[in-house]
Chain A
Amino acid sequence: MHELPATQGMLDVALEAAEAAGATSIQEIHLVIGSLTSIVDDSVQFYFDLLARGTLAEGAILVFHREAARLDCGSCGQTGEVVPPLPRSCPTCESLQLRVTGGDAFRVESLEVDDPDTVASGVETGHLDTRGEHAVQPSLQTEPS
């Protein structure tokens, strides 16, 4: 349920940035979401599809970049990424001297937008191929979790 206001906030940030850039539509929204925020990708996508209707972001592809929390062992120095539930002890040396940091990111990193200039120049100079390459990227980067 908490993804609804979170998604609305994300959409607001994206629309504001797109309008400031003079964009005519948003093609992709790149998000960074920390693993400790309990934000679920599928749920964000679900609400986004509803909320973005009739806006510059309608039909935009959401690209989720997960920011893992970091686990450091104060005993053996082992470091690595961690997602909840947190381990009972260090996976390497079983020490309890563990420290978890990060994983709380929740931001819009960047947008891919169309604006009157790029659309026009793309048509005139045959840059459509480049756009085609860009369009392939999201399916590689999206983690359909």
Chain B
Amino acid sequence: MTSVPVVKEILKANDSVAVENRQYFDRLGVHVFDVMASPGAGKTTVLLETLHRLEAGLRPGVIEGDLASSIDADTIAAQGVPVVQINTGGNCHLDAPMIRSALDHLDVESMDLLFIENVGNLICPSNYKLGHHEAVVVSSVSEGHDKAHKYPGIFAKSDVILVNKWDLAEVFEYDLDFFVQGVRMVNPDVPILPLSAKTGEGFAPWMEWLHARISKPVDAQPALSG
């Protein structure tokens, strides 16, 4: 037998398409957010409330990833926001080639920002780069405060963390300090913002963070990472 050194990242095929996606977004000046969470954390509800609160004149678009169905996409479309649905057919995450295909069905050129709502899952989506600029992780009060301890991978790769359903914090005896401590182990500086998509509480800091990202020239962002 002969030894052949390889040392190649297994997801390099995905990553190279992600780089192409990112270059495409940068060329068009569109800022892209990958929104990840477990099922039922409230990704779509947070997204809807966020779309409502966007500064006037900003033109958003949405890519909805789901195992099946277009329930979420229909909800977004009803708000008059351009949306395309990706049904992964059982695959538990979106990948860069899926995003590339979806782009054929969206008028990205006339957008300022694009949200990609990933498949509800705290494990797989974090391993697949899509070409996004920022990773937004939604973790909800009802899931419990131990999620960062149990699923550190996704929190390590997040650029902002929203703790949704904050209006229920008392009912669920949610220990924010414990959650923050779990996140800080893997991601010392990430903003952690409690909010409620139902009551609107806590949305101001999140919208401020979001608008600050969009107003930055996208080509000034660091190269695809993490």
Contact = CB atoms under 8 A, between A and B. Distances in A.
Interface residues of A, number: 46
B92 A100 contact: no
A100 B10 contact: no
Contacts of A31: 10
Contact of B8 (A37, A104, A107): A107
Contacts of B12: 9, 13
A47 interface: no
A36 B1 contact: no
Interface stretch (B35-43, B107-115, B178-186): B178-186
Interface string A89-124: 000000010111100101111111111011000000
Contacts of A101: 186
Interface residues of B, number: 37
Contact of A2 (B2, B9, B124, B146): B124
A33 B208 CA distance: 38
A71 B188 CA distance: 13
A38 interface: yes
A1 interface: yes
Given A2-B127, A134-B1, A109 B9 contact: no
A5 interface: yes
B95 A5 contact: yes
Interface of A is mostly: mixed
B93 A2 contact: yes
Contact of A23 (B4, B10, B146, B153): B4
Given A1-B91, A2-B92, A9-B13, A112 B2 contact: yes
Interface in B1-57: 1-14
B153 to A, nearest CB: 4
Contact of A88 (B95, B149, B184): B149
Contacts of A38: 123-124, 127, 151, 153
Contacts of B3: 110-113
Contacts of A99: 185, 188
B7 A23 contact: no
B6 A14 contact: yes
Q: Which 7 A-B pairs have the closest CB atoms?
A: A2-B124, A111-B4, A36-B153, A108-B6, A112-B1, A17-B6, A9-B10
Interface of A: 1-2, 5-6, 9-10, 12-14, 17-18, 21, 23, 27-28, 31, 36-38, 69, 71, 84-88, 96, 98-101, 104, 106-115, 117-118, 131, 134
